[in-house]
Structure 1
């Protein structure tokens, strides 16, 4: 560990401290970040070792469940400053904080705010034999409402005027990954809700799926 710290000091000309503990990585990392008021915790992925990728991915997910501070999960060493950032938003205060964080982490980057919507009870309507034309009308109405909410969200005080809105229909994790691929983004940024129910739903179904997919494609 001291060799790694020395190498970082020399390469980046920055002060580096190292700390070693024995135990569950995600718990110790989260506690260290909490006790030292860390602004950003970074966990890396190893493209040359699938077993390590699974370990890092598991540690990252557990840390996200455990921690309350911002975290960056890095696949590779950036060759240049982040130029294109995708922020998943649900119009909450957490989403507002996420966009602010994107501007701080990647100053000068193009920031895309993505909201993914669906149609309430669409599956049940289709199962009940509701005409596809009627379902399409519901979907169009949901798209109009989501676009209106996005417009109002980006007009609120404190939001960045350069943020570009994207509204899409579908499953959040799949749409986020597709948009990230289409836009060739350098960074995906997602907020974490503090309420337990939303936390489990968000981390379990969306963040976990995205992290797993990204690690698998390293």
Structure 2
């Protein structure tokens, strides 16, 4: 499912959704939310007679969505359906995802894709995702060449890595596990001897390498290329951003830790940094 408000950012997301649907032989749903509150605000600022010209704006927007779906189906051969809804965008997207369980929801990061950070709609949708969400920034819709998956060996990060392989099997995949130096500082503050702290750190690093290599071998079975694995001694958010830039990665896959009211706090610890401080597309998997 691709959400669109016909902005440049939404168009970039739609191009990516079309590319993925074609690659997987999937159908595509286009979703547009007509926000009545915004419409009434516009009527209060601009010429009401001009804005309410026949046919009404909601009818014209619905027709625009229908025409877009028909044009895409004709051009690509994909089964494309148009879904028009009334309400704010984030609630509409979340309700649709919860009710229909699409394999992937694709949305633009902002109305202008070149800008850093997230728009309010994308941020709200990510607070409690019902399915994998692909946040699109790139206006280039060619298949991804390199995908970086952030892994901490928790179930949710492993789901993200497997989802990235399933969605982008032809890409070159890289796994990154960051051993946070903060643990070493915490041990020292607890009066753990420096030598023992180093031994614990080295042990953790060795175990991370072992587990990550094992995961890479498992993922390679479903990938077109051998999956690379790397362990970094750095703060996870910084390690991911630096490695994504160095590859350079077209997309970064991260797990969404937490649900409900506290989800934004969990997302902010690592995934939100990636979402706000890179210009890569980001796959968020719950």
Q: 2:228 aligns with which of 164, 171, 182?
A: 164
Q: How many angstroms apart in 2 are the aligned matches of 1:174 and 1:99?
A: 19
**Cα RMSD over matched residues?**
3.1
Q: Deviations over 1:128-147 (max 9, x none)?
A: 89887775554433322321
Q: Is the 8 A contact 1:61 1:208 kept in 2?
A: no
- 2:163 corresponds to 1:101: yes
Question: Structure 2 matches for 1:137-148, cutoff 5 A?
Answer: 137-148=199-210
Q: Deviations over 1:78-106 (max 9, x none)?
A: 34211111111121333332222212211
Identify unmatched segments of 5+ residues in structure 2: 1-63, 281-286
Question: Structure 2 matches for 1:126-205, cutoff 5 A?
Answer: 136-155=198-217, 158-161=218-221, 162-193=226-257, 199-205=263-269
Q: 1:66 aligns with which of 125, 128, 132?
A: 128
User: Kindly tell me: are residues 21 and 11 of structure 1, through their superposed partners in 2, closer, same or farther at Cα, counting changes over 3 Å?
Assistant: same
Q: How many angstroms apart in 1 are the aligned matches of 2:81 and 2:259?
A: 34
Aligned match of 2:150: 88
Aligned match of 1:123: 185
SS, match of residue 96 in structure 2: helix
Q: Is the 8 A contact 2:178 2:233 kept in 1?
A: yes
Question: Structure 2 matches for 1:23-62, cutoff 5 A?
Answer: 23-45=87-109, 46-47=111-112, 57-62=119-124
Identify unmatched segments of 5+ residues in structure 1: none
Task: Calculate the TM-score normalised by the size of structure 1.
Answer: 0.79
Q: Is the 8 A contact 1:84 1:110 kept in 2?
A: yes
Aligned match of 1:114: 176
Task: Calculate the TM-score normalised by the size of structure 2.
Answer: 0.62
User: Kindly tell me: are residues 10 and 44 of structure 1, through their superposed partners in 2, closer, same or farther at Cα, counting changes over 3 Å?
Assistant: farther
Q: How many angstroms apart in 1 are the aligned matches of 2:266 and 2:71?
A: 37
SS, match of residue 176 in structure 1: helix
Q: Deviations over 1:10-53 (max 9, x none)?
A: 44342322223333322210110121221110011344685xx7
User: Kindly tell me: are residues 48 and 88 of structure 1, through their superposed partners in 2, closer, same or farther at Cα, counting changes over 3 Å?
Assistant: closer
Q: Is the 8 A contact 1:118 1:142 kept in 2?
A: no
- 2:91 corresponds to 1:22: no
Q: How many angstroms apart in 1 are the aligned matches of 2:261 and 2:243?
A: 27
